[in-house]
Amino acid sequence: ATSLYVSEMITSRGLVEKNPLTFQMIAFDPDEHPRSLQLYGVDPVAMGRAVRMVVERDLADHIDMNFGCPVPKVTRRGGGAALPYKRRLFEAIVRAAVANADGRPVTVKMRIGIDDERHTYLDAARRAADAGVAAVALHARTAAQRYSGTAEWSAIARLRDALPAELPVLGNGDIFCAEDALRMV
């Protein structure tokens, strides 16, 4: 069986600025492979530099860009789940990551949108697909819901239908046991 070792969510700026705490948070043991680095950021230049650093220093085998964080201290600054609402900025950040990944897979995770009036996931996922991501993950809630209410699994189906068949779509939200995962599929 193969495992995927995933870092905590870190900022691209923290990596670029060589913050010691950031490097502690992304340290993997030598026998941990494949390594996935979970990045978030609001600046395409910093994101591109961070991904280039991951490649040059061999810090991870996979970059997962987190556009799903609903925490107000992140969304108030325009990051996390709020960022796909800024379509051109979102696309620029994803393109910068993919362009600097040197063939390593880059994936994105997102939410349905900011709230019930502002759904962004279909447009954002299409932009991410056009930018060359390896997969798209959807937490089927809005940022306003955070982790409450019920995940809207039908949004995952709409996303699957909206993207090229060869692009993997991962579903997230309300999976508590194997039966839940089978029902989501």
Find the DSSP H helices in the chain.
12-16, 20-25, 44-56, 72-75, 87-100, 121-131, 153-162, 178-184
Burial of 52: CB neighbours in 10 Å, binned 0-12, 13-18, 19+:
middle
Distances (CA, A) of 53 to 12, 14, 23, 125: 10, 12, 12, 25
Contact 47, 96 (CB under 8 A): yes
Show which residues are catalytic: 69
